[in-house]
Amino acid sequence: MPDFESALDEAMPLAEAAVKAGADILFLPEYCGGLKTQGAAVTPPSAMEAEHPFLAEMQRFARAARVWINLGSIAVDGPDGRIINRGIMLDDTGQIRGRYDKINMFDIQLSETEVYRESAHVEAGCEAVIHDTPFARIGHTICYDLRFPDLWRSLAQAGAEILICPAAFTKKTGEAHWHVLNRARAIENTRFVISPCAIGPVPGGGESYGHSLVINPWGEVIADGGTIPGVVQAQIDLDQVAETEARIPSLANEQEFTLVSVDAKRSVA
């Protein structure tokens, strides 16, 4: 999806199908408004938030369908020619009810030829965000944030009942880590995890892994989108959050500690 038009052409039929199937809230992946790469740089199509065509069309759809929509992230014009990787929560009137700017930038080198430098064009955020919705309190992370458990812990301890991680996870890292990391975040926080992930080749180079997931607080995968674009649907019973936390109250049991580095040579009497 190298441009807004092709992103909308892909997203709108899926959104319509989800609503027809009875969905109350939709979750889209990272850079759902379009994604491409240029060498090591991530260079999605971007626009000012107030003039963003993908956002505007999704606001219209939310209003017409009377459905909440989480835009996992879109590229928004930021300062100094850079962009912001911004997740947006829309209510069922199309109004923006929350924003999350991705904190942790995807700067990695998988091999001599497969290198990504998100920070080359993207301004990092600095605030963790929980969206209050009629359905649940939803903690928002994006893609590479999945590897930073302290962020997830903070969201859960602040009252998030569902933790989301919209992503465009690479195929190579996805095959190795996607399922286990998502399950770990659900288990250690006793929360539902919803992680919509883009699928297929990225214009300019790279490939997204797919396997959009819904995971319950016990760490069980209750929905897996596999490798075919489509709608992944699940029903969530929030009572499972309290039930699981009562069984394993790790959030409440956590103790403060001091880290001490011991010189083995000096500690020998």
For the question of residue 143 being annotated catalytic, the response is yes
Instruction: List pLDDT tens digits, range 15-55.
Output: 999 999 999 999 999 999 999 988 878 899 999 999 999 99
Per the residue annotation, which of 32, 36, 102, 171 is the catalytic one?
102
What is the pTM assigned to this prediction? 0.94
Identify whether 112 is a catalytic site residue: no
Distance CA 149, CA 85 (A): 20
Q: What share of the chain has pLDDT > 90, as a percent?
A: 85
> Stretch 112-118: mean pLDDT, rounded?
82
Q: Is 10 a catalytic residue?
A: no
- More confident: 41 or 236: 236
3-state helix, strand, coil in the chain (%, to 5): 35, 25, 40
Residue among 32, 36, 123, 143 flagged as catalytic: 143
- What is the C-alpha to C-alpha distance for residues 251 and 78, in angstroms, rounded to an integer? 36
Residue 2 has pLDDT above 80, yes or no: no
What is the pLDDT, as a whole number, of residue 235? 95
